[in-house]
Structure 1
Amino acid sequence: MTLALPPSARRRAFRLPRKLPAPLLGGGFILLCGLILAVFPSLFAPYDPLAFDYNALMAPPSWAHPFGTDNFGRDVLSRVIHATTIDLQMAVFATIGPFVFGTAIGAVVGYVGGTTEAIFGRIVDAVITFPFLVLVIAIVAVLGPGLGNMYIAVGVVDWVFYARLIAAEVKVQKRLDYADAGRAMGYSPARIIFRHLLPNAITPAMVYLMTDMALAILLGSSLGYLGLGAQPPAAEWGVQIADGKNFMATAWWMSVFPGIAIVIAGLGFSLLGDGLAELMRTKR
């Protein structure tokens, strides 16, 4: 038995409107194209991203190499396409863990309240006192460079933002009549929290997740630029920008095209988040 919404209301809640928000469609299209490139990079990349061509060192954009080549003669277009796999992987792996863990913790904190909420508040204060990027860089510097350690560092810091969002929403939901009905019927706190309160409180966290994925790409690229994320010779947008920073005057394409890819990916997730927020508003 679900107390939150009757069956007819649940069907209406999950029925898509005839006209979807433009940002949702735009973001979905961008990310669909990126997902296709990430899953099948070899079908679209004209060259091996790690293959050296010493006869075409830092060649400018041309029909043979539309995005030019880098200082080792590697095709920039092929490396940008193959980097889509790593960067979208960073967007997912760096955020799903904090989203799941933070959502669960926030739901419990918001429902229990009292001392538990006070302790959680002090933890949140301790984390948000320091800039997010500084904390992540510090943790990665201690653990060592690499994508795995980057995911750990982001997870250690990022979960508190999801938990804070969910805790605030659950505090509102637990005062409503359906939550009182669940307690009156003798349902366990776990059932009330995870079967009834959380489904009605999770929307803000899902919208934030889309934005957080865009930020994860920026963070991963920043760490790659600093040498703390993906390691050369891996094709990753931040690594490519770092490789080309010393050649901006003579081979601008080495850094510009990976930078454009970062902007497009971030735009896709941002549009998707805006569209999802607009879609949820229209359903209320």
Structure 2
Amino acid sequence: MVELARRIFSSPLTVLGLFIVLVIVISAAFAPLIATHSPTEVDLLSKLEAPSAEHYFGTDEVGRDIFSRIIYGTRISLRIGLLVVLIAFPIGTILGAIAGYAGGRIDQVIMRITDVFLSFPGIILAMSIAAALGPSIENVMLALAATWWPWYTRIVRSSVLSIKHSEFIEASRALGANPFRILFKEVIPNSIAPATIQASLDLGFVILSAAGLSFIGLGAQPPSPEWGAMLSNSREILREAWWAATFPGLAILLTVLGFNLLGDGLNDILDPKQR
């Protein structure tokens, strides 16, 4: 643990990523204490006010406080990112482990299905699924999870192929362990490290993709303080109220940057080839 902490703090970019992620998590956890106004309260007398001591990031077209909406928006974005990864990661991991360990026709069937999903651009497939299900945050999460699991399947399958004939697995077979026990007790725990690192990187990209779907009207609906929806609503007032689009855009940028820096740092720390 001490060595892990030393390696983390020896990389300035990893520390920066960790700091950004911690700020985002704290903002989400303590949103009611940090926000200065209600995220959905309309005040037409204060509409399109520039950033000030009263409204740190200004107000939008109906007088809602943008700072408070961004703070509450961290909850929505983190929930989307975490739930999509938590749905896609185990599905992809189990399928990839089964394909790599079983081989033969099982491997071919699983990987051909995976290839079908990977043959479409992920965001286009997610748009199609979200449009078919209807605009909502829940449907966006399902659409993104349906397009994200194939990546984990490929990563885990490659890891399993490299260890399936290792001595500790052969020893388990010799001791009479059944295939399911070997798969879940030996194979998966020793092959998910690369997929785990990828998952930390994917959190930022999932949030970015969800914001994109909300931007075109397939995700969060008004008056939800979701960052992509806030950007979409600010298009018509961009010239007279630059702050309405700037601050939600910066929130998305910093969130994606934070998770990317942290994921890259974890890759350098946990990948034995980088040591």
Q: Normalising to structure 2: TM-score of the pair?
A: 0.94
- After TM superposition, the structure 1 stretch with the greater mean CA deviation from structure 2, 249-258 or 55-64, is 55-64
What is the CA-CA distance between 1:24 and the residue it aligns to?
3.4
- Partner residue of 1:141? 131
1:130 corresponding residue in structure 2: 120
Q: Among 255, 258, 266, which residue is 1:265 paired with? A: 255
**Cα-to-partner distance string for 1:11-50 (whole Å, 9 max, x where unaligned):** x9x9625332524332222111111111111111111111
Paired residues of 2:114 and 2:153 also in contact (CA < 8 A) = no
Give the Å deviation of 1:138.
0.3
Q: Is the 8 A contact 2:99 2:111 kept in 1?
A: no
Figure out how many residues of one structure are paired with residues of the other and give that number: 272
Are positions 1:222 and 2:212 aligned together?
yes
Instruction: Report the TM-score, using the length of structure 1 for normalisation.
Output: 0.92
Q: Which residue of 1 aligns with 2:6?
A: 18
The one of 235, 240, 247 equivalent to 1:245 is 235
Q: How far apart are residue 90 of structure 1 and its match?
A: 0.7
Structure 2: how far apart are the matches of 1:101 and 1:19? Answer: 31
1:82-110 Cα offsets, whole Å, 9 max, x none, are 11110111110111110011111111111
Q: Deviations over 1:48-76 (max 9, x none)?
A: 11112222110111121121110101111
Query: What are the residue-to-residue correspondences of 1:128-277 with 2, within 5 Å?
Result: 128-277=118-267
Counterpart-to-counterpart distance in 1, 2:153 and 2:235? 38
Percentage of pairs with the same residue = 37
- CA displacement 1:210-254 (0-9 Å, x = unmatched): 121111101111111111111110101001101101111110110
The reply on whether 1:95 has 2:85 as its aligned counterpart is yes
Cα offset for 1:197? Answer: 1.7
Distance 1:25 1:189 in 2: 42
Letter in 2 for 1:137: M
List alignment gaps of at least 5 residues for structure 1: 1-11
Report the more deviating stretch, 74-83 or 46-55: 46-55
Give the stretch that moved more between structures: 117-126 or 255-264: 117-126
Residue in structure 1 matching 2:66, options 69, 76, 84: 76
Matches of 2:66 and 2:242, distance apart in 1: 11
1:39 aligned residue: 29
Quick check: 2:85–2:202 contact (8 Å CA) kept in 1?
Answer: yes
Q: In structure 2, what is the equivalent of residue 6 of structure 1? A: none
Q: Which amino acid aligns with 2:97?
A: A
